[in-house]
Structure 1
Amino acid sequence: MSNKELLISAVGAFIAVVMAEFFSSVILQSANSPLIVASTGASAIVIFGSPHALVSRPWNLIGGHSVSAIVGVACFYLITNTLLATSVAIPLSLVAMHFLKCMHPPGGATAVTAIIGGTTIHNLGYAFVIMPIFFNSLILLTVAMAVATFRDKNPFEDYS
C-alpha cells in the first residue's frame, strides 16, 4: 500500500468503527460496548489493512462473524462453565469457518463475546447474530467498498 492508500484506509477504518460502535450502543442501549468494538476493530484492521487477503473477502467477513456468533451463543447456552464454553467455542468456530470457507480470525473474538459479553448480550440470545454482529459486519463491508473507490483499487477484485 502506498502512503496515500494507507491514509485512505485508516480514515475508512475510523469511519467504519465509529459507525459500528454507534450502532452497537444504540442496539445494546449501552454507552459502553467494548467487546463488540473489539471484534469489529480487529476486522477493521484486517479488511482495511490487508484488503486483498483471503480473510478480507466479503463472505469471510460476514460469514466468519455470523457463524462464530452462532457457535458462541450455542456454547453459552449448552456449557455452563465459562472457561470451558470459551475454550470449546473457538475451535468450533475455526472448524465451522473452515468448512463454510469463510475464515475470518476476528470471528474468534465474536464467539468469545457471545459467552463473556455480559447480561445485555446474553439477553439478546441468538438475536446477537443479527444485531449487532451481522449489521456491524455489513457496516464494515459497506465502508470498505466505498473506501476502495477512493484508493483507486477494488479490494475484492482478485476474488470476483
Structure 2
Amino acid sequence: MSLIQSDWLNLLKPNYKVLPLKERLLSGFGALCGLAISSLISWYVLGGMNAWYIAPMGASSVLLFAVPNSPLAQPWNVVVGNTLAGLIGVTCTQLLPDLTSAFSIAVGLAIFMMMTTDSLHPPSGAVAITAVLGGDAVHRLGFQFILYPVLLNSILLLLIAVFFNRLIGRHYPITAHINERSKDPTPTQKVSIQPKDIRYALAHHTELLDISQYDLEKIILEAQERANERLTNSFVCQDIMSRDVMKLHEDDDIHQALDKFKAVNLMSLPVVNTANHLVGTLALYEVVEWFKSATDPRNSWQHYVRQIMSHRVVIVDPSQPIQDLIPYFVEKSFNYIPVVENKCLIGIISRADMIAALQQQLNRQKLSFE
C-alpha cells in the first residue's frame, strides 16, 4: 500500500532538479537581501505612503533568486509584465464596480497582454489583483500605483538581483549563445545542432516551456558531447602534448622575447619562473604594443617579460580528455594550451596536435562501423 501511495505522490511531483544545499541557501539569502533592501529603499522614498511595498514582489523574488535562468525571470518580463498588469488592474478597478468581475478580467487580460508582448511574469497576475483588491490606500493612488510602488519595487528588486546573481557567479540576465565574430552559427553549432534547429523544434510545440532557447541548446550540445565520448576511446592531454616546449622566462628582457618570437614564428609563448612554474603567457601583440608605447615616460619602467605578460592562463591537466580542449580551440581561437602538473609546465598542446588527434579518432570511428 505504501509503495502505491509513493508512486501516486511521485506523479504529482515535478520532474525538477533539486539543487545542492549551497545553491538553495544562496537563493534564500538572495531573496532575503533583495526584499529587505528594496523594501527599505521604497519606504524611504515613499515616506508615509501606506502601499509602499506590494506582496507580489515576494513571488518575483522566487524567480529572480531561485530560477534566474528562467525566461519568466528576465528583466523585460519583470518590468514590463508588472507594469502592464498594474495598468490593466487600475483600469479595471475604475471601469468595473463589481470586484469579482474586475480582478478576474484584469488577470485574464494581463496574461493575454504579457504573452503578446513576450513579457510573461507569473507574479504580475498578483499585481493585477492587488490593484483591484488592495483597498483604499491603493485605490487612492489611481494610475500612480503603476509608477509607485509597482515600477519602483520592480526596478529596485531587479537591480539587487542582477548584482547578487553576478556576485555569486551566476549569469543574469541570460544572454544568447552567439558567434561573437560573425553572424553565422559558432563553429561548434555548424557541425552539430544550430539555433535554427532548436527554433524549428520549438515551433512545433504550442505549449510554453519554462526554459530559454539558449539554455536548451546548451543542454542538448553538452548531452551530445557526453554521448560522443562513449563512442570512442579518447586521448588524454599527455598522449598528444609536445614536451619540448619553447617558453619564455619571466625575467627575460622584452627584446629577447621578440627574438624568440621571430625564431619560432609563434603568436604567443608560455612564461615560467625559476622553478619552471607557469606564471603567465606573452602574446606577440603585447610585445608590439609595448614597442608602440616605449616612448611614453609612464612605461619607461617596463623592461622584462613579467611586466607586460598576461597572468590569466587557461591550463589543462595531463590526464584530462582532449575533448575538454575543443571549445578553446574552436570557439576562442587558441593557438595552444599549456599542460601543467604540480604547477610545473610539462608540455603544450597546439591546434595542430588537436587536429591530428581528432583525425585519428575519426579514422577509428570509421573503422568500427565498417
Aligned AA (1:12): G
Aligned to 1:86: 103
Q: Could you state the TM-score of these two structures normalised by the residue count of structure 2?
A: 0.40
Choose from 14, 38, 55 the match for 2:72: 55
CA distances 1:101-147 after superposition (whole Å, capped 9, x unpaired):
10001000000000110111111111111101111111111111111
In 1, Cα distance between the equivalents of 2:152 and 2:63? 17
Structure 1 stretch 1-10 or stretch 87-96: which is displaced more?
A: 1-10
Asked if 2 retains the 8 angstrom alpha-carbon contact of 1:43 and 1:106, the reply is yes
Deviation at 1:158, TM superposition (A): 3.7
Q: Which residue of 2 aligns with 1:77?
A: 94
Taking the aligned partners of 1:64 and 1:35, their CA distance within structure 2 comes to 17
Greater helix share, 1 or 2?
A: 1
Structure 2 residue 21 is matched with structure 1 residue 9: no
Q: Distance in 2 between matches of 1:63 and 1:152?
A: 26
C-alpha separation between the residues in 1 aligned to 2:176 and 2:78? 14
Which of 138, 145, 165 is the equivalent residue of 1:121? 138
Write the distance in 2 (CA, Å) between the matches of 1:43 and 1:12.
12
Q: Name the CA distance, whole Å, in 1 between partners of 2:157 and 2:89.
A: 21
Greater alpha carbon shift after TM alignment, 13-22 vs 55-64: 13-22
Q: Which residue of 1 aligns with 2:152?
A: 135
Q: Which amino acid aligns with 1:94?
A: I
Greater Rg, structure 1 or structure 2? 2
Query: Is the Cα contact below 8 Å between 2:39 and 2:53 reproduced in 1?
Result: no
Q: Percent identity?
A: 30
- Structure 1: runs of 5+ lacking an equivalent: none
DSSP 3-state at the match of 2:35: helix
Does the CA contact (< 8 Å) of 2:56 and 2:123 recur in 1? yes
State the Cα distance separating 1:35 from its structure 2 match: 7.6
Partner of 2:164: 147
Q: Distance in 2 between matches of 1:132 and 1:14?
A: 19
- After superposing on structure 2, the runs of 4+ consecutive aligned residues of structure 1 that deviate more than 4 Å are 23-26
CA distance in structure 1 between the partners assigned to 2:109 and 2:176 by the alignment: 26
> Which is further off, 3-12 or 67-76?
3-12
1:29 aligns with 48
Higher strand share: 2
Asked whether the equivalents of residues 57 and 159 of structure 1 are also in contact (C-alpha less than 8 Å), the reply is no
Question: Per chain length, whose mean CA-contact separation is higher, i.e. which structure has more relative contact order (CA < 8 Å, sep 6+)?
Answer: 1
Question: Who is 1:39 aligned against?
Answer: 56
Name the CA shift for 1:18/1:159 in 2 (closer, same or farther; >3 Å).
Answer: farther
Does the CA contact (< 8 Å) of 2:86 and 2:150 recur in 1? yes
Q: Higher mean Cα deviation, 3-12 or 126-135?
A: 3-12
1:97 equivalenced with 2:121 (yes/no): no
The residue type equivalent to 1:133 in the other structure is V
Summarize the Cα distance change of 1:95–1:125 in structure 2 as closer, same or farther, 3 Å threshold.
same
Distance 2:176 2:61 in 1: 19
Change in 2 beyond 3 A, CA 1:103/1:44: same
Label 1:159 to 1:86 Cα distance change in 2 as closer, same or farther (>3 A). Answer: farther
